[in-house]
A and B are shown apart, each in its own frame.
Chain A
């Protein structure tokens, strides 16, 4: 049992947890800034960039993927501006059509390309392939000290770990100005805080998290990771610092519970087939949010009196 767990489940659990936490951290600010759908937009726009990077380099690796995603984001901004100016379409419509069109382009590109050698196809791009990130060289917990076995760890784990560390470090470094600018933009500007640059940096950090989480959960379900844990955490506390803590706890809980339930849950009710891990993670995220809505201690704040 323990050998099988380390081989098959340990790495997906770690990657899922890191991905969920890396998305939840910037998600706190996106939700408070009423930009929650920015995570959705990012995950859609970057797909053709990731696919193009794969087609050019022939493998799924970190830097080409990040560069491809960044390139796709720039293309998206240009297209949105062109549609707005030439077509005189309102910005929301211009964005919506750009995100969807680029995502569709990415799906078509992926379908036409030969990706049989690696785990990159339409289904995995949409729903992730957490279950396939296994560590075959491991034969038990002792493998964690075995250099040869460690070398065989899926590269996705290191990539996700580095992305999560980067997201956390940047958030910690810019915590104070981010908090001030999110609460009171005018005051932040009067304090010399570069509000626009900070907002742009937040979107870049969210994009890094989204691209890194691409392996684990695909580009659709990642939106649940951006929104559900922070939104649920907001209902638990009235302090931003504690909200961040709660959001990371909820993210980890959703990833672990979701993975375990997807793998073993169907067996408990007599079904021989496991269900999609990313689908179950998103479902658990939604359930946590629902429970927080019903029982969260800070949920009644909107009914507080506004005048004495």
Chain B
């Protein structure tokens, strides 16, 4: 893992080092400091720090209502945060929009909208084309290429409402690919999709990661975390843990994140060993 990340780190900081010459280390693709978000009186996300490793593929996991999607949306400025700062490759996020691709939850839009598959993918070119730029032949080619990467080229002219849920999700991913970003933020890309789509999506994301891009997914299926991701960010309103899957995705951290909602048997099924007893103050290393 570390061997693969080293060259991508060098590749991805070429631009950012000149943008922030005083940074001591290469600035991460996404860094959040002290973010608090509230709907009404109750905080949905409280004082969260996040530091995404360059060239990594990170799962944001936590129980329902833990603030996973909210954190992502607030980082992008889609929902307002009470406090906190967000930097992308060391710069304020407002300046770095071009390098971020965002895939919202599939259920967040009305798929009855009058658009064809290729129209939705072309929306990913908005920052390049601007208000009035025409779609050139090579832009159409790029749309087609992005659809091919998610195996949806045959559906380019189809109305989006006529697609299955998995196909719709792949169209959203194709739109993100059209942005040709360095940081991909995806909100539950595997929610309610068929097995073929799940395989197609993970294939595309892994290829992006191997090409040096950084992937962050809000994820809900604990059984696939180890197989799909190399890093994990565990949240339940506050940050619980963050780091490589191998060292962070542990029974103790899962228990801390999900509390009583995750049964000991479920954790055992993940192959993470036994759950620490609730009265034990710390996980194994400090047990006397």
Question: A residues within 8 Å of B by Cβ?
Answer: 32, 173-174, 176-177, 179-180, 182-184, 186-187, 189-193, 234, 237-240, 243, 298, 301-302, 304-308
* Selected A-B contacts with CB under 8 Å, 25 pairs: A173-B132, A176-B129, A177-B131, A180-B123, A182-B113, A183-B115, A184-B109, A186-B102, A190-B76, A190-B97, A190-B102, A192-B94, A192-B127, A239-B115, A239-B116, A240-B114, A240-B119, A301-B159, A302-B112, A302-B161, A304-B159, A304-B161, A306-B164, A307-B165, A308-B167
B interface: dominant SS: mixed
Residues of B within 8 A of A238 (CB): 114-116, 159, 161
B108 within 8 A of A: yes
B63 within 8 A of A: no
Interface centre among A32, A174, A182, A184 (most CB of B within 10 A): A184
Contact, CB under 8 Å: B123 / A183: yes
Q: List residues of B (102-134) whose CB comes within 8 Å of A's CBs.
A: 102, 104, 108-110, 112-116, 119-120, 123, 126-127, 129-132
Contact, CB under 8 Å: B97 / A191: yes
Which of B112, B127, B129, B175 contacts A301, CB < 8 Å?
B112
Residues of B within 8 A of A176 (CB): 126, 129-132
Beta-carbon nearest neighbor of A190 in chain B = B102
B73 within 8 A of A: yes
Interface centre among A182, A190, A238 (most CB of B within 10 A): A190
B83 within 8 A of A: no
Residues of A within 8 A of B92 (CB): none
Please give 19 more A-B residue pairs, beta carbons under 8 A apart, in addition to A183-B123, A237-B114, A240-B115. A32-B114, A176-B131, A179-B123, A180-B126, A183-B109, A183-B115, A184-B104, A184-B109, A184-B123, A190-B76, A190-B78, A190-B97, A191-B127, A238-B114, A239-B115, A301-B112, A306-B165, A307-B194, A308-B166
B162 within 8 A of A: yes
Interface centre among A32, A177, A298, A307 (most CB of B within 10 A): A307
Residues of B within 8 A of A301 (CB): 112, 159, 161-162
Contact, CB under 8 Å: A308 / B164: yes
Which of B113, B126, B166 contacts A193, CB < 8 Å?
B126
Residues of A within 8 A of B131 (CB): 173-174, 176-177
Contact, CB under 8 Å: A186 / B114: no
Residues of B within 8 A of A193 (CB): 126
B30 within 8 A of A: no
Residues of B within 8 A of A237 (CB): 114
Residues of A within 8 A of B112 (CB): 301-302
Residues of B within 8 A of A239 (CB): 114-116, 119
Question: B residues within 8 Å of A by Cβ?
Answer: 73, 76-78, 94, 97, 100, 102, 104, 108-110, 112-116, 119-120, 123, 126-127, 129-132, 159, 161-162, 164-167, 175, 194
Bound together, the chains give a CA A176 to CA B162 distance in angstroms of 23
Bound together, the chains give a CA A184 to CA B120 distance in angstroms of 10
Residues of A within 8 A of B78 (CB): 186, 189-190
Residues of B within 8 A of A187 (CB): 102, 104, 123, 175
* Nearest CB on A from B90, distance (A): 19
Residues of A within 8 A of B97 (CB): 190-192
Residues of B within 8 A of A190 (CB): 76-78, 97, 100, 102
* Nearest CB on B from A280, distance (A): 29
Beta-carbon nearest neighbor of A300 in chain B = B162
Residues of A within 8 A of B77 (CB): 189-190
Beta-carbon nearest neighbor of A233 in chain B = B114
Bound together, the chains give a CA A193 to CA B109 distance in angstroms of 17
Contact, CB under 8 Å: A234 / B114: yes
Bound together, the chains give a CA A182 to CA B114 distance in angstroms of 11
Residues of A within 8 A of B113 (CB): 32, 182-183, 240
* Nearest CB on B from A117, distance (A): 45
